[in-house]
Chains A and B, each alone.
Chain A
Amino acid sequence: MAAVVEIERLSKTYRSLRHGSRKALDGLDMAVEAGQVHGFLGPNGSGKTTTLRTLLGLVRADAGRMLLLGREVPSALPGVVDEVGAIVESPQFFGNFSARRTLDLLATAGGVGKGRVDEVLELVGLRDRARERVKSYSLGMKQRLAVASALLKRPRLLILDEPANGLDPAGIREMRDMMRGLADGGTTVLLSSHILGEVQLICDSVTIVSRGRRVTSGPVGEVLAAHDTGALRVRLADNRAAAGILGAAGFAVQPSADHLIVTGVRDPATITRVLAEQGLYVAELTAVGPDLESVFLELTGTMPHAGAPRQVDDSVQVTT
């Protein structure tokens, strides 16, 4: 499958007379395959937004190579920008214009027909509020408008930076369905989000970054499988007795309120056999797969610890 986004060794250091220099990207590599919803994850300050802004020509890279839709950017950006819809960070619009005028002006500048404005307003649910000033909008409505502006061009690649920010639960579900629908229709979606549950539900593949470098990447299933500890959730009538038996049998057991977590098990049938031999019968035995959140926290080294506040730049430094 062809890559729609390819990034190699991308570096960017912000320099400021007042604040000194700060390395935002430190040789980042990344690839997004066509037709996928690709999650782009990382802790705050890990370089996600800088990467997206650099791809879109808003920030100048110090070094590295980037391809969008097979063409090198930023030099070829004017030639591919009509096929790339994007929102970066919080939605920003001129507050005194209505949503319709905002989209009309963008459509005029981009040579897009006015009929498309009505379509995207309908799609994002702003049809009936389109004539109100943007400054009267809630954050979620502004977010919908931002998505509408990104969809205006019928993009082959949609880049969304925190698109669910400010959306209500129904809006989040709608956004998820819309992204899935777009991907099913052939649009590639590059999604940066901190709502990892959503990312796990919707994304085909992910790239996780920390301090400007890639920590891991690949299909979501593969990334999760790589961190599968083989843990099992076991529940019985007498959990305490079962814990003693399993511990004596050499299993690592972690008691919980009404169940046990048993790790280091190759064959789950062993559990039921060992317990049955002692007259204990299993009421529940389920595999506990890793979720994206726990994998993310582990890989980026950002797992919270009680009483030890984490600073934003405290995350894993990937070494080459």
Chain B
Amino acid sequence: MNLVRAEAQRLLARRFTWVMLLMTVGILGLVLLGIALNSHRPTPAVVAQAEQRAAEQRAQFEQMRADCERFKRDPASAPPGYPSDAPCDRMFDISQVRAEDFMPHTFGFRAEVPTLLGVLGGIVALFGFAVGASFVGAEWHSGGMTNLLLWRPRRVLVLLTKLGTVLAGVLALGAVAGAGYLAALWIIAQTRGRVGAVDAGFWQSLGLTAARALALAMAAAAIGFALASLGRHTATALGVGVGYLIVGQVGMSIVLGLTEVARPERFQLSGYVTAWVNNGATFQDYSSCLGREGPCEPQTWTIGLADAATVGSVILVLLLGAATWQMARRDVT
């Protein structure tokens, strides 16, 4: 218990924690400010104009769909390269044309909050990654860990107490920031946007999304912590993080694009993160259109929540297992 109290005091006493906290709150504030400034409630005149433009586009779609059906019945009349199996109903679906699309953006609480919770999860995850890495990395680098081990020689207990302290801190920040964030979005929706239909099912779904966003932030903190512990330096985690973004995301995207690999998202963490936050994610596989002429609707495929949970769990178990094993075995020189 003494160790837990000491680690909590240490976490709160660190300037880096407070700098990151201020940055996190600042970024969330900017996000909220941007949402508020970009949300406009339409006047009756704007609504009327938007409905007129939507009606015009529906008429265009009707005409294009009729042409499409005619080309399928009589391929000889079709322009060169027009596919004989074009999905006319889906390509020119008038139900997709909405007057809202012709109006200035209005923030909709029901429609947009799940996505914005994912944004919150991402921002808190960055906080967790940096603070988690620094909390153990700076201790190793400065020699503070050696001093602590002279007092508490149970190494694994020391490491796990530090990890638990960081995770509790991220959970607390995520919960408080999440509550404030949702309250602010609710106020924006009430004053400058629209709330939409929010029933018990919506709140339940939102609660699960928030829980997954918090879990994402805690996982990021644990990964940063494990990497910095393995390298005994904060820079190890930050280096791996930046390196992954450059090589694993940007570089890999380029390589996968050049090699026309099918379903490239399965090779990138971002796909699994998206799936985790959104309770599954559907991607389009453009490789299915390779070699075809004219319009082509790519095949879709899905990364499910279970897939994302499995990938995340494997990464966490491997990194935390390695960090714990190394902590138990390493010579502190």
Residues of A within 8 A of B (CB): 14, 53, 56-60, 74, 77-78, 81, 86, 88, 91-97, 101, 104-106, 108-111, 149, 153
Give Cα distance in the complex from A198 to B119, angstroms.
63
Cβ-neighbour of A86 out of B2, B139, B150 (below 8 A): B150
Q: Tell whether, in the assembled complex, residue B15 and residue A96 are in contact, meaning their CB atoms are under 8 Å apart.
A: yes
Q: Tell whether, in the assembled complex, residue B152 and residue A77 are in contact, meaning their CB atoms are under 8 Å apart.
A: no
Give Cα distance in the complex from A58 to B138, angstroms.
18
Q: Which residue of A lies closest to B2 (CB)?
A: A111
Chain B 226-266, CB-CB to A under 8 Å as 1, else 0, gives 00000000000000000000000000000000000000000
Cβ-neighbour of A108 out of B2, B15, B332, B333 (below 8 A): B2
B292 contacts chain A at the CB level, 8 A cutoff: no
- 13 CB contacts below 8 A, A to B, read A53-B333, A57-B153, A58-B146, A58-B331, A60-B329, A78-B152, A92-B142, A92-B147, A93-B142, A93-B147, A97-B13, A105-B10, A108-B5
Q: Beyond A58-B332, A101-B13, A109-B6, is A81–B150 a contact (Cβ under 8 Å)?
A: yes
Q: Tell whether, in the assembled complex, residue A57 and residue B149 are in contact, meaning their CB atoms are under 8 Å apart.
A: yes
Q: Write out the residue numbers on chain A whose beta carbons fall within 8 Å of the beta carbon of B6.
A: 105-106, 108-109
Q: Write out the residue numbers on chain B whose beta carbons fall within 8 Å of the beta carbon of A106.
A: 6, 147-148, 151
Interface contacts beyond A96-B14, A106-B147: sample of 6 additional A-B pairs, CB < 8 Å, sorted by A:
A58-B331, A58-B333, A59-B331, A92-B144, A97-B13, A105-B6
B residues 1-50 near A (Cβ < 8 Å) are 2-3, 5-7, 9-10, 13-15
Give Cα distance in the complex from A110 to B13, angstroms.
18
Q: Tell whether, in the assembled complex, residue A60 and residue B146 are in contact, meaning their CB atoms are under 8 Å apart.
A: no
Closest CB of chain A to B86's CB: distance in Å? 61
Q: Tell whether, in the assembled complex, residue A60 and residue B331 are in contact, meaning their CB atoms are under 8 Å apart.
A: yes
Q: Tell whether, in the assembled complex, residue A56 and residue B150 are in contact, meaning their CB atoms are under 8 Å apart.
A: yes
Give Cα distance in the complex from A262 to B5, angstroms.
67
Give Cα distance in the complex from A93 to B152, angstroms.
16
B321 contacts chain A at the CB level, 8 A cutoff: no
Q: Which residue of A lies closest to B13 (CB)?
A: A101
Give Cα distance in the complex from A109 to B5, angstroms.
7
Q: Which residue of A lies closest to B1 (CB)?
A: A111
Q: Beyond A57-B149, A59-B331, is A110–B2 a contact (Cβ under 8 Å)?
A: yes
Q: Write out the residue numbers on chain B whose beta carbons fall within 8 Å of the beta carbon of A94.
A: 138-139, 142, 144
Q: Which residue of A lies closest to B148 (CB)?
A: A109
Q: Which residue of B lies closest to A92 (CB)?
A: B143
Closest CB of chain B to A49's CB: distance in Å? 8
Q: Beyond A93-B143, A108-B9, is A81–B153 a contact (Cβ under 8 Å)?
A: yes
B residues 87-126 near A (Cβ < 8 Å) are none
Q: Tell whether, in the assembled complex, residue A59 and residue B333 are in contact, meaning their CB atoms are under 8 Å apart.
A: yes
Instruction: Summarize B's interface: helix, strand, loop or mixed.
Output: helix
Interface centre among B6, B138, B331, B332 (most CB of A within 10 A): B331
Question: What 6 A-B pairs have minimum CB-CB distances, sorted nearest first?
Answer: A92-B143, A109-B6, A58-B332, A108-B6, A57-B153, A59-B331
Give Cα distance in the complex from A228 to B2, angstroms.
54
Q: Write out the residue numbers on chain A whose beta carbons fall within 8 Å of the beta carbon of B154.
A: 78
Q: Tell whether, in the assembled complex, residue A92 and residue B146 are in contact, meaning their CB atoms are under 8 Å apart.
A: yes
Q: Write out the residue numbers on chain A whose beta carbons fall within 8 Å of the beta carbon of B333.
A: 14, 53, 58-59
Give Cα distance in the complex from A92 to B14, angstroms.
17
Interface centre among B7, B15, B138, B143 (most CB of A within 10 A): B143
Q: Write out the residue numbers on chain B whose beta carbons fall within 8 Å of the beta carbon of A56.
A: 149-150, 153
Chain B 253-297, CB-CB to A under 8 Å as 1, else 0, gives 000000000000000000000000000000000000000000000
Give Cα distance in the complex from A219 to B16, angstroms.
51
Give Cα distance in the complex from A105 to B147, angstroms.
11
Cβ-neighbour of A77 out of B143, B153, B332 (below 8 A): B153
Cβ-neighbour of A95 out of B10, B142, B148, B332 (below 8 A): B142
Q: Beyond A74-B153, A110-B152, is A149–B2 a contact (Cβ under 8 Å)?
A: no
Q: Write out the residue numbers on chain B whose beta carbons fall within 8 Å of the beta carbon of A74.
A: 153
Q: Write out the residue numbers on chain B whose beta carbons fall within 8 Å of the beta carbon of A104.
A: 9
Give Cα distance in the complex from A59 to B142, angstroms.
18
B residues 272-329 near A (Cβ < 8 Å) are 329
Closest CB of chain A to B246's CB: distance in Å? 26
Give Cα distance in the complex from A92 to B7, angstroms.
18
Give Cα distance in the complex from A172 to B53, angstroms.
89
B residues 39-82 near A (Cβ < 8 Å) are none
Give Cα distance in the complex from A86 to B15, angstroms.
28
Q: Tell whether, in the assembled complex, residue A109 and residue B150 are in contact, meaning their CB atoms are under 8 Å apart.
A: no
Closest CB of chain A to B147's CB: distance in Å? 6
Q: Write out the residue numbers on chain A whose beta carbons fall within 8 Å of the beta carbon of B139.
A: 94
Closest CB of chain A to B292's CB: distance in Å? 52
Closest CB of chain B to A5's CB: distance in Å? 16
Q: Write out the residue numbers on chain A whose beta carbons fall within 8 Å of the beta carbon of B13.
A: 97, 101, 105
Q: Write out the residue numbers on chain B whose beta carbons fall within 8 Å of the beta carbon of A14.
A: 331, 333
Closest CB of chain A to B111's CB: distance in Å? 45
Q: Write out the residue numbers on chain B whose beta carbons fall within 8 Å of the beta carbon of A88.
A: 146, 150
Q: Write out the residue numbers on chain A whose beta carbons fall within 8 Å of the beta carbon of B138.
A: 94
Q: Tell whether, in the assembled complex, residue A109 and residue B152 are in contact, meaning their CB atoms are under 8 Å apart.
A: yes
Q: Which residue of A lies closest to B152 (CB)?
A: A109
Q: Write out the residue numbers on chain A whose beta carbons fall within 8 Å of the beta carbon of B151.
A: 81, 106, 109-110, 153
Give Cα distance in the complex from A105 to B150, angstroms.
13
Cβ-neighbour of A93 out of B144, B149, B332 (below 8 A): B144
Closest CB of chain A to B327's CB: distance in Å? 12
Give Cα distance in the complex from A109 to B139, angstroms.
15
Q: Write out the residue numbers on chain B whose beta carbons fall within 8 Å of the beta carbon of A96.
A: 14-15
Give Cα distance in the complex from A86 to B3, angstroms.
19
Q: Write out the residue numbers on chain B whose beta carbons fall within 8 Å of the beta carbon of A86.
A: 150
Give Cα distance in the complex from A93 to B147, angstroms.
8
